Amino acid sequence: MADYIYPVARLIECFRRLPGVGSKSAARMAFGVLEMSPEDAEEFRAAIKGVKEDVRRCSVCCDLCDSDKCAVCSDPGRDQSVICVVEDSRTVSALERSHEFHGTYHVLGGVISPMNGITPDRLNVKELITRLNGTVNEVIIATNPNIEGETTAVYLSKLIRPLGVKVTRLAYGVPVGADLEFADSETLARALEGRREF
Amino acid sequence: MADYIYPVARLIECFRRLPGVGSKSAARMAFGVLEMSPEDAEEFRAAIKGVKEDVRRCSVCCDLCDSDKCAVCSDPGRDQSVICVVEDSRTVSALERSHEFHGTYHVLGGVISPMNGITPDRLNVKELITRLNGTVNEVIIATNPNIEGETTAVYLSKLIRPLGVKVTRLAYGVPVGADLEFADSETLARALEGRREF
């Protein structure tokens, strides 16, 4: 980046620190900022400040929110007896978009990953257990279908089942709209195993 | 984006305004900012302010710079008698990385595009003509090899040749490392036309 003038090189470096951004897209975005109106650039700066200062964690489910309790936890229409446990806020958004789930969530803030030094005490597990005070009937574990997500799911189910709460997890299978020809064998095996009658 | 809380949705919207950014990568980057240290977020804000306040145009070649004259124009080792005309600053950076060119540049700030209302008077053409004051022997036109770049190249060559200055342009041909099998026919035709003896 030595061939860009300092202010541009500095902004490119900031973009590069974001997840999934390489040097070419960082440069493209930095030039985008350069060509933006001063008002848009000021709005961008204010928005960065906004997420750092105004975003907190919901005191119940640990999801991101801008007040004490998130919109789902404060909604009297949501079924408080079912908790869907997810890794992060983005999974909450994805599940909300499906309009299928009417219970509440619990955001772990990650998954157990000894390789990266993430042990259960660094996740919002204690907060989840506190919520299982007799009014909760079911905990749906919706961690990602990979090794770390599975490890976390097994850990949580062993922790929660003795408390007399039903523990379930999302169904494995072929994704809707997928081409079976290109499905991996593990997914196909799980889809066969979990087959249902018409 | 209605399912994200306001501060996050607002930052996603800012990222989406950047060139080449879709809603998924905008969300990924916004969450990246959320997880950044407060110092990195402050640096990001300062860098945005920096490009808007400290970046100017070189008074000679119209390239981006942070003082009155850019590094190339102030370098006495560069050949002032050759000017390479490019569309934007990114092309200057690309050519500098090739370490092949020792003349100076002239940044047009775009290409002629009647469809988008960009006529020659909206480009830095007047500034280029002003530079052709007898000390310049050659103008190399390095606009992009597409219709608008070609139109601009033809326009400039018609304007400059009567002034007694040699006008050249970059060679067309197959890119180094490319697979001929996948080269488009127009490129192959130009590569054949411009073939050189071993």
In a domain, A71, yes or no: no
DSSP character at residue A82: E
Q: How many CB atoms lie under 10 A from the CB of residue A63?
A: 25
User: To the nearest 5 percent, what fractions of chain A are helix, strand and coil?
Assistant: 45, 15, 40
- Contact of A196 with chain B, judged by CB distance below 8 Å, is answered with no
> To the nearest whole angstrom, how far is the Cα of A166 from the nearest Cα of chain B?
28
Q: Of the candidates A144, A143, A139, which has an alpha carbon nearest to the alpha carbon of residue A159?
A: A139
Q: Are residues A9 and B90 in contact, defined by beta-carbon separation less than 8 angstroms?
A: no
DSSP labels, B142-184: ---SSHHHHHHHHHHHHHHGGGT-EEEEPPPSPPTT--GGGS-
Q: Which residues of A touch B26 (CB under 8 A)?
A: none
In a domain, B71, yes or no: no
CATH of the domain at B43: 1.10.8.420
Angle made by CA atoms A107, A108, A111, in degrees to the nearest 5: 140
Which of B34, B36, B48 is nearest residue A11 as measured by Cβ atoms?
B48
Residue B1 binned pLDDT confidence (cut-offs 50, 70, 90): very low
In a domain, B107, yes or no: yes
**Mean pLDDT, chain B, as a whole number?**
91
| pLDDT at residue B177 greater than cutoff 60 | yes
- Contact of A23 with chain B, judged by CB distance below 8 Å, is answered with no
- Decide if B65 and A5 are in contact by the 8 Å CB cutoff: yes
In a domain, A124, yes or no: yes
The reply to whether A91 and A169 lie within a common domain is yes
In a domain, B63, yes or no: no
Q: Are residues A144 and A112 in contact, defined by beta-carbon separation less than 8 angstroms?
A: no
- What integer pLDDT is reported at residue A100 of this predicted model? 85
Residue B170 binned pLDDT confidence (cut-offs 50, 70, 90): confident
Give dist(CA B31, CA B22) in Å, integer.
14
| pLDDT at residue B2 greater than cutoff 60 | no
Smallest CA–CA distance from B94 into chain A, residue: A3
Q: Which residues of B touch A99 (CB under 8 A)?
A: none
Domain with A41 in it? 6-54
Give dist(CA A139, CA A121) in Å, integer.
19
Q: Tokens 């897209």 correspond to what residue?
A: A25
Tokens of A90: 């983005």
Tell me the mean pLDDT in the region B105-109.
96
- What integer pLDDT is reported at residue A1 of this predicted model? 40
The model's pLDDT over A78-132, given as tens digits with 9 standing for 90+, comes to: 999 999 999 999 889 888 888 888 999 999 999 999 898 999 999 999 999 999 9
Q: Tokens 């390489």 correspond to what residue?
A: A22
Number of folded domains in chain A?
2
Tell me the mean pLDDT in the region B62-84.
94
DSSP labels, A177-196: T--GGGS-HHHHHHHHHT--
Counting residues of chain A whose pLDDT is more than 70, the rounded percentage is: 99
Counting residues of chain A whose pLDDT is more than 90, the rounded percentage is: 72
The reply to whether B36 and B100 lie within a common domain is no
- Decide if A52 and B65 are in contact by the 8 Å CB cutoff: no
Tell me the mean pLDDT in the region B28-32.
95
- Contact of A45 with chain B, judged by CB distance below 8 Å, is answered with yes
Parallel, antiparallel or unpaired: strands B64-65 and B56-57? antiparallel
- Contact of A48 with chain B, judged by CB distance below 8 Å, is answered with yes
Give dist(CA B169, CA B165) in Å, integer.
13
> Which ranges of chain A does DSSP label H, i.e. alpha helix?
6-16, 23-35, 38-54, 89-97, 125-131, 147-160, 185-193
Q: Which residues of B touch A47 (CB under 8 A)?
A: 7, 10-11, 13-14
- What integer pLDDT is reported at residue B49 of this predicted model? 97
The interface predicted TM-score (ipTM) is 0.81
The reply to whether B114 and B44 lie within a common domain is no
The reply to whether B12 and B101 lie within a common domain is no
Interacting residues of A34 by C-beta distance below 8 A, sequence separation 6+? A8, B51, B52, B55, B64
- Decide if A4 and B93 are in contact by the 8 Å CB cutoff: yes
Q: Which of residues 81-110 of A touch B (CB under 8 A)?
A: 88-90, 93, 96-97
- Give Cα separations from A51 to A10, A54, A66, B33 (angstroms): 21, 6, 9, 8
Counting residues of chain B whose pLDDT is more than 90, the rounded percentage is: 72
The reply to whether B83 and B44 lie within a common domain is no
Q: Of the candidates A138, A168, A165, A163, which has an alpha carbon nearest to the alpha carbon of residue A153?
A: A168
> To the nearest whole angstrom, how far is the Cα of B21 from the nearest Cα of chain A?
8
In a domain, A59, yes or no: no
> Residue B123: is it exposed, middle or buried by C-beta count within 10 angstroms (0-12/13-18/19+)?
buried
In a domain, A68, yes or no: no
- Decide if B3 and A41 are in contact by the 8 Å CB cutoff: no
The reply to whether A84 and A11 lie within a common domain is no
Q: Which of residues 136-195 of B touch A (CB under 8 A)?
A: none
Q: Which helix (H) or strand (E) holds B54?
A: helix B38-54
In a domain, B14, yes or no: yes
- Give Cα separations from A172 to A63, A165, B188 (angstroms): 25, 22, 50
Smallest CA–CA distance from A71 into chain B, residue: B5
- What integer pLDDT is reported at residue A197 of this predicted model? 74
- What integer pLDDT is reported at residue B97 of this predicted model? 85
- Residue pairs between chains A and B whose CB atoms are closer than 8 Å: 138
- What integer pLDDT is reported at residue B70 of this predicted model? 94
The reply to whether A173 and A86 lie within a common domain is yes
Tell me the mean pLDDT in the region A56-68.
94
